[in-house]
Amino acid sequence: MNVRMPENIERRLRQMIARKRAEAKAALEREAKRAQDAEDRDAIAANVAAKWDQDRHIISEIAADFEAKLSEFGVKLAPDFRPGDGHTIVGTGAIRVIGLDGRDRHFTLTVHPQGAVSVSYETPPSKAVLLRRKEFQVSTATRATYEAEILDFLEFAL
């Protein structure tokens, strides 16, 4: 039994089918974009982590060099590197500085997955103080970048 639908019902049905197909296509495109974005974020985070791994060695060398040059003043620099949480922080690098007065001071670099490096200073007894909203990209950071940041802190703290 082949009964023909009224024209307005058939038109509405075609429109509904077209709308549902468009919605399904848009949902697939959104999901593909989300997956690509996640893949891109993961690739960037992996590159940042690899660069940070290299830079940790450079920072340790700089700390040793500065400590040797400031040894006549009893200054000690102790770098400490910690892994991140896997989501919002790739890792941190802290340099504990002890001056002649025996007080600890800390210089901390926090590396974020998109590559931004935040700089903070802590001079007890106070809590961490972000002296300036200094950020730079780990991907473009060089030995000179880290030397300048550490020296800025030493000039402030000592």
- Please write the tens of the pLDDT for every residue from 18-77: 999 999 999 999 999 999 999 998 899 999 999 999 999 999 999 999 999 999 988 999
Answer yes or no: is pLDDT of 136 > 60.
yes
Question: Phi and psi dihedrals of 127, rounded to 5?
Answer: -80, 175
Position 8 scores a pLDDT of: 92
Q: Does residue 138 sit within a domain? A: yes
Q: Does residue 123 sit within a domain? A: yes
Q: Does residue 58 sit within a domain? A: yes
Q: Does residue 67 sit within a domain? A: yes
Q: Does residue 7 sit within a domain? A: no
Position 140 scores a pLDDT of: 95
Range of the domain at 54: 38-157
Q: Does residue 4 sit within a domain? A: no
Q: Which two tokens stand for residue 16?
A: 């509904």
Answer yes or no: is pLDDT of 103 > 80.
no
Q: What is the rounded average pLDDT for all residues in the chain?
A: 89
- Spatial strand order of the sheet with 104-111 comes to 76-83, 91-98, 104-111, 116-122, 135-137
- Measured from the Cβ of residue 63, the count of other Cβ atoms closer than 10 Å reads 21
Q: Does residue 32 sit within a domain? A: no
pTM higher than 0.85: no
Amino acid code (one letter) for 94: A
Q: Does residue 11 sit within a domain? A: no
Position 48 scores a pLDDT of: 94
